[in-house]
């Protein structure tokens, strides 16, 4: 079973309704992107020109915001999501080594999904588990003092 909230498949008509429903908000771009990400689990690139038209922004502006924030996925996630903490306490406790290990183990870069769509690997900046650094979150569940061996064990249990 996936630990992800069920997301709908991308639906251009439903996406347009979300854009139109929120476009009159102050600083509507962020609420729109969040709403789309929540509804579909990611923000499809095809919505960029739609948002740009509705908000009277350039496509480059919308694209820039979409790609700047880690919160927004650009593609559907895999069945599981592993988020590794890249903030200071975890970095000082071999967090970077753990990150490199995960990349090699899964054969992905940050923000990517394994070829079999099993695991999406993402960064997060502090999980509030600094005392147990390095930390990660797997499908919403926190794990502290994560060693490469501990990661391998947890990842091996994700189907
Ligand atoms: S710095 Fe990693 S959990 Fe806080």
- The number of distinct structural domains making up the chain is 2
- Domain of 154? 80-158
Query: Looking at residue 149, which CATH number applies to its domain?
Result: 3.40.30.10
For residue 55, tell me if it sits in a domain.
yes
**Ligand 1 pocket check: which of 90, 94, 99, 144 to mutate, most ligand atoms within 8 Å of Cβ?**
90
For residue 75, tell me if it sits in a domain.
no
Task: Specify burial of residue 99 (Cβ count, 10 A radius: 0-12, 13-18, 19+).
Answer: buried
pLDDT of residue 44: 96
The whole-angstrom separation of Cα 113 and Cα 75 is 9
| Percent of the chain's residues with pLDDT above 70 | 96
Ligand 1 pocket list (CB less than 6 A):
85, 87-90, 126-130, 133, 135
Could you report the per-residue pLDDT of 12-48, keeping only the tens digit for each? Answer: 999 999 999 999 999 999 999 999 999 999 999 999 9
Same domain, 86 and 51: no
């Amino acid at each position: 079973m996936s630990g992800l909230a069920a997301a709908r498949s991308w639906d251009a008509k439903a996406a347009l309704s979300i854009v139109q429903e929120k476009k009159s908000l102050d600083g509507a771009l962020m609420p729109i992107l969040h709403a789309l990400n929540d509804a579909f689990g990611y923000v499809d690139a095809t919505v960029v020109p739609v948002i740009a038209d509705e908000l009277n922004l350039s496509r480059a502006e919308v694209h820039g915001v979409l790609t700047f924030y880690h919160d927004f996925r650009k593609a559907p996630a895999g069945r599981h999501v592993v988020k590794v903490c890249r903030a200071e306490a975890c970095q000082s406790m071999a967090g970077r080594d753990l990150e490199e290990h995960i990349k090699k183990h899964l054969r992905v870069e940050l923000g990517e999904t394994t070829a079999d769509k099993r695991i999406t690997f993402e960064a997060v900046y502090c999980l509030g588990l600094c005392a147990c650094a390095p930390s990660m979150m797997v499908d919403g569940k926190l794990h502290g003092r994560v060693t490469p061996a501990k990661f391998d064990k947890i990842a091996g249990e994700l189907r």
